[in-house]
A and B are shown apart, each in its own frame.
Chain A
Amino acid sequence: MTDRTEVAIVGSGPSGAVAALELVSAGIGVTVLEQGDWVPAEAFDGARPEWELTQLKQWHPNPNIRGRPEDYPIDTAASDVNPLMFAGVGGAALIYGAHWMRFMPSDFRVRSLDGVAEDWPFGYDDLAPFYAYVEEAMGVSGEDGNPAYPDGAPTPLPALPIGRVGRRAAAGMNRLGWHWWPGSNAIPSRPWRRLQPCVLRGTCGTGCSDGAKATPDRTHWPDALARGARLLTGARVVRIETDAQGRASGVIWVDRQGARHRLAADVVILCANGVGTPRLLLASGLANRSGLVGRRLMMHPFATVAGRFDDDLESWVGPAGQILTSCEFYETDASRGFLRGAKWNCMPAGGPQGFRAGYGNGPLTDAWGPAFHARTRASFGRSFEWGIIGEDLPDPDNRVRLADDLTDSDGLPAPRIAYRVSDNTRRMLDFHVARAREAMQAAGAVEIAETRLIRDCGWHLMGTAVMGADPETSVTDEYGRCHDVPNLHVMDGSTFPTSSGMNPTATIMAVAARSVLNLIDTRAGLEVA
């Protein structure tokens, strides 16, 4: 017997959660398929001494390292960067840093301003109400009036404390006359709806054991389920089915016992991230008239500059989360030798194992023996880093394909990534690393270490089902509706024409809200199978 729903959504992360809640609130039946499971706050190790140990395996962001059956493996042999994600209710947000940044106005007009890539079909002002809408849901904390934004990027809650680390970093930036601002985070500084207030434990990136970090399993799913949404966990979608007219008619999915099921649907929405969504489109052979499905993958190459200081900064204290941000070098200045720019985030150093990672490349005798104690005494609690998120521009050769020799736990082809960091991006990171070193020196660092490209940095997966007006040069329209399959939608970061240099979750959720509200408004004229 075939199961039936009005709308089938693939993926329960930030975009899937937004779509599901809006649809069910409008009285539309929704079934969501999530290949992972619920993860209770008690499962996270942040408040336990084992925290630094289990982040090396169980809570590592790279699915290839976790090796869980509900994740899928990824062939990254031809990639400079590893894609990072997590299968579970709430998606990768369960282990994200909750850095909450709106894209800048210029990010939507890259072609017009800098002559590269493409402009977005809409602009910052169009998206601003949707940013505000999702920021309320996520309990974003921040300081209003940021001069990096035309409207100051207001947030519903006041900023989290910046602590000793933030003050030290800020003083350095002020000496140079450079922009900084208290970090904005999807972590409430006060009790907020179903979220507990942040306790600055500093373990956000391995899951919040305090129920404070805004993740969709807390911010959206309880309401969506209460209003009648159906959420199937352990449900991996195999392919999208179509009818004789080429309209989406439902999905085939497999449960954790290996049994296959068919879910018929009037509308299918993909919210499976910038790797999972093109994987599913390619596996289904759909929506690829343009040949762009899977192409233009952008992952935000990431560099860090870590500084060690003589004084005690308590640099294990959160949020982590971002303590400060800087947009000083965000916009294009052609005299620097590259186009576009990068956003910086100031981060604490973590526990005694975390700080060692930044200084672990020397000879063994530098790391162990008497030096082990000397370095621990000199460094622990006295370090922080500036992280640098560089905007990588779309390149059709950076892409997701299906592997022919690697499968997931259900025997389905795994994604294969081809991704090379461009010369423009390398020049960008070189410039920013040099500036961040200056910022550390100005802050009084006595030792500085840098990592020019971190391989495990592919948090931000974008561009692989690009939106646009022309079906020959884009996969979806501006609302994520596939040109080739009018009742098949993409509402995750796959549709982004460019990546900006900002953490994308805010924009993913805002764009999803804009798209799904359009779908609701226009559903009377929708072609369904």
Chain B
Amino acid sequence: MTLTAEDRATLARLAALMVPGGAGMPSAARISLQGAPLDRVLAHAPQLSGPLGRFCAAARDVADMAGLDAAAQADRDGFEALAVAVGNAYFMAPQVRHAIGYPGQEARDASVGLTAGDQALLTPVWQRGRLWRAP
């Protein structure tokens, strides 16, 4: 199922309610979440399209969080699809990641192992001695 332009317009309004911007983070509108970010989500999670379209069709008149809550109560699966789509589209956006200080699941050097401080933390553990139960 492909989302219609009307579905996307509805989703933009719902996303604006859910992600209004604040605490140094951009709004859903600021990143045009209903456009390319949503396309990226649906490309990797096409199973969301059906319930998302259904939810948007039923929520055309939602104008506030109370209305969104009522729509969510009426279609839990549809709202779950909306929440997954909005959340993932938002947090995949580079400007959002930058705002929250998240570099993504980046590669780091694991060969550093335990530090001297870590070994000091371990000292009382091995000083307490054997923990295992003799069979």
Please report A residues at the B interface, Cβ cutoff 8 Å: 46-47, 49-54, 56-57, 104-106, 108-109, 112-113, 123-124, 143, 145, 147-150, 158-162, 166-167, 170-171, 173-174, 177, 179-182, 189-190, 197-203, 210, 312, 316-319, 327-328, 330-332, 351-353, 356, 363-365, 367-370, 372-374, 376-377, 380-381
- Complex interface bits, B101-120 against A, C-beta within 8 A gives 1, otherwise 0: 11011111111111101100
> Beyond A106-B133, A161-B112, A331-B133, is A53–B125 a contact (Cβ under 8 Å)?
no
In the complex, whether B131 has a CB less than 8 A from a CB of chain A is yes
Partner of B117, one of A124, A167, A318, A363: A167
- Is the CB–CB distance between A199 and B108 below 8 Å? yes
CB neighbours of B113 from chain A (8 A): 158-161, 189
Question: How big is the B interface, by class?
Answer: 35 or more
Given contacts A351-B102, A373-B25, contact A52 B118 (CB under 8 A): no
B57 contacts the other chain (CB 8 A)? no
When C-beta atoms are compared, the residue in chain B nearest to A209 turns out to be: B105
Do B114 and A372 touch across chains, with their CB atoms under 8 A apart?
no
A370 B20 Cβ-Cβ under 8 A: yes
A147 and B125 in contact, given A106-B135, A158-B113, A202-B105 (Cβ under 8 angstroms): yes
- Tell me the bound Cα distance from A514 to B112 in angstroms: 35
Interchain CA distance A367-B114 in the complex, whole Å: 37
Contact partners of A189 in chain B: CB under 8 A: 110-111, 113
| Other 7 A-B pairs with CB < 8 A, given A174-B124, A317-B108 | A57-B45, A161-B114, A180-B125, A181-B125, A197-B111, A369-B65, A380-B100
Which chain B residues border A47 with CB–CB below 8 Å? 105, 107
- A364 CA / B86 CA spacing, docked (Å): 14
- Cα(A319)–Cα(B20), bound, Å: 34
List, in ascending order, chain B residues with CB within 8 A of A368's CB: 17-19, 65, 68, 83
State whether A182 and B102 are in contact (beta carbons under 8 Å apart), knowing that A174-B125, A200-B108 are contacts in the complex: no
> Is A145 a contact partner of B47 (Cβ separation < 8 A)?
no
Q: Is the CB of B130 within 8 A of A210?
A: no
A401 to chain B, nearest CB (A): 30
Measured CB to CB, the closest approach of chain A to B38, in angstroms, equals 12
Please tell me if the beta carbons of A376 and B25 are within 8 angstroms of each other in the complex: yes
Q: How far is the CA of A397 from the CA of B51 in the complex (A)?
A: 38
